[in-house]
């Protein structure tokens, strides 16, 4: 089953309230996905030349400050100062003046048991096994600020209940997606993408959809072009909600069995598997509320005029 | 009038109250506040009730309706009026997919658009949509009438049996065995009557009629022995 939700703010005045508005959306989808939950939140962006990594460790007592000290001690770190970092429950966010490759190499050496959940300038992905409300509270989602967020509540069907199997999936910088449905050609597609250098952390079908988009964007496609190609190449049932550094998109497969509802006001665009996840949003009674068409790309980006693209 | 506020009472309490009217109809008018997208609101009614729902509803609103008149002042989630037997369900906004699925009787009016699979496997219900319908509408429709004042999505009326479809706007494509048929006087008359009952202002002569070509396997008498 699974539930997916997304909230993309158009009005900067709402940005301090992103977590407060988004948390009830995720919690409302608990009936559709009680196993595990996760969300990506975009905001608190680092400047050019810097990179933000979100890591998680299964041991709640894991000593992140030791990792921060070790990072400082590594050669090349200017003045040996501690990197900019903070811990949030079982997760830690590091903001580093380095490349993704160097950062990954450092963490695989210093913290080989930690999972890198996301890499980018804006994205932070937090997820875990348990009731969505427990995940919301663990990471104190209601206090978070940002520009947009997408989330997932999981009822596992295609792979085990685990943190690794929870959404959102990210396979490239600042890109992530949540998926409701199941892909039928993911094994074939995964092999094809691995040959193109896309790395996968799990056997999950949804991660393949994320990898596919990463591959297309890396090849120079716009997000819109990548999504149109995805509609041709992804086979199976899917409603996908996609986040990028400055964009937000929703697509459904041509048969569109998996539910989706979109709502738009001057202040935000919201997506959910069911309308009841949207009822607390400001001005929802006056919002434009509709069911997205099958095989159509709905995309909002800060750099472009807002609105759906055919 | 009886008022139920779903912020303070459960859908189960509402539906039980409505079901209790089947044995003795003592409270014919009901007002439902704060539906907030909840599922299965006003399902399984079987009395001459008038139910006004103020807001948006979730899945299966007014499902299995008999006799009652239910008006939703908002949008409906999946399967509004699914398996309706009789009565009237009116959606003032849009309806999600599978509206009036498998419904045997009564009238569903969607004043806005209906999404995919509107009237799928309909078995005698009448459906009037003020806007457009999505893909695979009236799939395997067996009986009843579907009226679309806007456009119809892909594969309209696929594997149709005896249901009649009237569309005013464009049809993206017709499904297997669904063909356009001439509008005769009796069709104009029944369409006029349906639009009147739905309270939708449209000219019957602007519509086209679609129905089954009766060319699929199960229409051939040679295959009768296989059943």
| Banded model confidence at residue B212, pLDDT cuts 50, 70, 90 | very high
What is residue A75's predicted lDDT score, i.e. its pLDDT?
56
User: Per-residue pLDDT tens for B60-103?
Assistant: 999 999 999 999 999 999 999 999 999 999 999 999 999 999 99
Domains and CATH numbers, chain A: 3-36+132-301 (3.60.20.10), 46-121 (3.30.70.3400)
pLDDT at A210 over 90: yes
Whether the CB-CB separation of A297 and A228 falls below 8 Å is answered with yes
Cβ separation B94–A290 shorter than 8 A = yes
Give pLDDT, residue A80: 54
Quick one: average pLDDT of A137-156?
96
Q: In sequence order, what are the residues at sequence separation of 6 or more whose Cβ sits closer than 8 angstroms to the Cβ of residue A92?
A: A54, A55, A56, A57, A64, A67, A85, A86
pLDDT digits (tens, 9 = 90+) for A255-292: 999 999 999 999 999 999 999 999 999 999 889 999 99
A-contacting residues of B 15-34, CB under 8 Å? none
- What percent of chain A lies above the pLDDT cut of 70? 95
Q: Which long-range contacts (CB under 8 A, 24 or more apart) does A300-307 make?
A: A300/A8, A300/A10, A300/A247, A300/A248, A300/A249, A300/A269, A301/A223, A301/A244, A301/A246, A301/A247, A301/A248, A302/A246, A302/A247, A303/A246, A306/A10, A306/A269
pLDDT band at A307 (very low <50, low <70, confident <90, very high): very low
Option in A275, A277, A294 nearest B75 (CB) = A275
Distance of CA B157 to the CA centre of its chain: 15
Check CB contact under 8 Å for A276 and B75. Answer: no
Q: Do A259 and B113 touch (CB under 8 A)?
A: no
* Nearest C-alpha in B relative to A290: B94
Which pLDDT band, with edges at 50, 70 and 90, does A161 fall under? confident
- Let me know if A2 is a catalytic residue: yes
Interface test with A, best of B7, B53, B56, B158 (most A CBs within 10 A): B56
Task: Spell out which residues of chain B touch residue A277, defining contact as CB-CB under 8 Å.
Answer: 37
Length, in residues, of chain A: 310
Nearest by CB: B77 against A256, A274, A294: A274
What percentage of chain A has pLDDT greater than the value 90? 84
Is the CB of A279 less than 8 angstroms away from the CB of B37? Answer: yes
Of A275, A291, A293, the CB nearest to B37: A275
Confidence of residue A303 (pLDDT cuts 50, 70, 90): low
Domains in chain B, ordered, with CATH? 2-226 (2.160.20.60)
User: Which of B11, B36, B53, B110 is the best substitution to test chain A (most A C-beta atoms within 10 A)?
Assistant: B36
CB-based contact, B46 to chain A, within 8 Å = no
Tens-digit pLDDT profile for residues A111-126: 999 999 999 999 999 9
Q: Is the pLDDT of residue A306 over 50?
A: no
Residues 6+ apart with CB under 8 A from B125: B81, B84, B100, B103, B104, B105, B106, B107, B108, B119, B144
How do residues B119-137 score in pLDDT, each as one tens digit? 999 999 999 999 999 999 9
pLDDT in tens, B166-192: 999 999 999 999 999 999 999 999 999
pLDDT tens track for A212-258: 999 999 999 999 999 999 999 999 999 999 999 999 999 999 999 99
Confidence of residue B222 (pLDDT cuts 50, 70, 90): confident
Q: Are A245 and A146 in contact (CB under 8 A)?
A: no
Lookup: tokens for A161 = 């209940």
Digit-coded pLDDT (tens) for B141-151: 999 999 999 99
Question: Is there a contact between A256 and B94 if contact means CB atoms under 8 Å apart?
Answer: no
Closest Cα in chain B, distance from residue A295 (Å): 11
Does the beta-carbon distance from A256 to B77 stay under 8 Å?
no
Residues of A in contact with B96 (CB under 8 A): 259, 261, 291
Say yes or no for a CB contact (<8 Å) between B113 and A290: yes
Which ipTM did the prediction report? 0.85
The fraction of chain B above a pLDDT of 70, given in percent, is 100
Tell me the helices (H) and strands (E) count for chain B, helix number first.
2, 11
Find the residue in A nearest to B37 (Cα). A276
Provide the shortest C-alpha distance from residue B115 to chain A (in Å).
Answer: 7
Which pLDDT does position A305 carry in this prediction? 44
Closest to A163 measured CA to CA, from A111, A90, A103:
A90
The yes-or-no verdict on residue A62 having pLDDT over 50 is yes
Q: Which residue of B has its CA nearest to A274?
A: B58
User: Could you tell me if A285 lies within 8 Å of chain B, comparing CB atoms?
Assistant: yes
Shortest CA gap B139–chain A (Å) = 13
Choosing from A1, A2, A83, A253, which is the catalytic residue?
A: A2
């Amino acid at each position: 089953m699974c539930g997916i939700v997304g909230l993309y703010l158009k009005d900067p005045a709402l940005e301090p309230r992103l977590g407060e508005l988004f948390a009830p959306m995720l919690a409302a989808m608990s009936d559709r996905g009680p196993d595990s939950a996760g969300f990506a939140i975009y905001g608190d962006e680092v400047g050019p030349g810097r990179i933000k990594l979100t890591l998680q460790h299964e041991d709640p007592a894991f000593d992140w400050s030791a990792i921060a000290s070790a990072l400082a001690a590594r050669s090349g770190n200017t003045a040996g100062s501690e990197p900019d970092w903070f811990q949030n429950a079982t997760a830690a966010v590091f903001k580093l003046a380095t490349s993704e490759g160097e950062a990954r190499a450092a963490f695989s050496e210093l913290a080989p048991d930690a999972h890198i959940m996301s890499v980018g300038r804006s994205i932070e992905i937090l997820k875990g096994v348990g009731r969505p409300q427990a995940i919301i509270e663990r990471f104190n989602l209601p206090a978070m600020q940002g520009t947009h967020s997408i989330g997932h509540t999981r009822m596992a069907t295609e792979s085990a209940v685990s943190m690794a199997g929870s959404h959102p999936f990210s396979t490239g910088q600042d890109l992530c997606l949540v998926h409701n449905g199941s892909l039928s050609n993911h094994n074939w597609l995964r092999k094809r993408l691995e040959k193109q250098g896309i790395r996968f952390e799990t056997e999950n079908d949804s991660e393949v959809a994320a990898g596919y988009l990463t591959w297309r964007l890396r090849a120079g496609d716009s997000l819109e072009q990548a999504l149109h190609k995805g509609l041709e190449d992804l086979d199976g049932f899917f409603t996908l909600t996609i986040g990028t550094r400055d964009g937000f998109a929703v697509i459904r497969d041509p048969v569109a069995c998996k539910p989706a509802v979109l709502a738009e006001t001057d202040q935000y665009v919201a997506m959910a598997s069911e309308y009841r996840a949207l009822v607390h949003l400001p001005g929802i009674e006056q919002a434009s509320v509709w069911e997205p068409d099958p095989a159509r790309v709905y995309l909002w980006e800060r750099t472009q005029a807002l609105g759906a693209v055919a | 009038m009886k008022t139920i506020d779903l912020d303070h009472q459960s859908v189960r309490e509402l539906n039980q109250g409505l079901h209790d009217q089947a044995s003795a109809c003592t409270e014919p008018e009901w007002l439902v506040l704060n539906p907030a997208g909840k599922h299965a609101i006003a399902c399984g009614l079987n009395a001459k009730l008038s139910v006004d729902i103020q807001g948006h509803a979730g899945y299966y609103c007014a499902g299995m309706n008999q006799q009652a008149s239910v008006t939703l002042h908002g949008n409906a989630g999946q399967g509004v009026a699914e398996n309706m037997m009789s009565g009237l369900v009116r959606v003032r906004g849009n309806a999600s997919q599978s509206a009036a699925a498998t419904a045997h009787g009564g009238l569903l009016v969607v004043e806005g658009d209906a999404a995919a699979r509107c009237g799928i496997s309909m078995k005698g219900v009448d459906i009037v949509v003020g806007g457009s319908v999505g893909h695979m509408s009236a799939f395997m429709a067996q009986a009843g009438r579907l009226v679309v004042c806007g456009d119809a999505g892909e594969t309209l009326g696929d594997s149709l049996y005896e249901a009649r479809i009237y569309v005013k706007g464009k049809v993206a494509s017709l499904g297997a065995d669904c063909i356009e048929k001439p509008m005769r006087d009796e069709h104009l008359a029944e369409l006029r009557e349906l639009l009147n009952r739905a309270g939708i202002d449209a000219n019957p002569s602007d519509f086209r009629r679609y129905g089954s070509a009766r060319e699929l396997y199960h229409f051939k008498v040679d295959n009768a022995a296989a059943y």
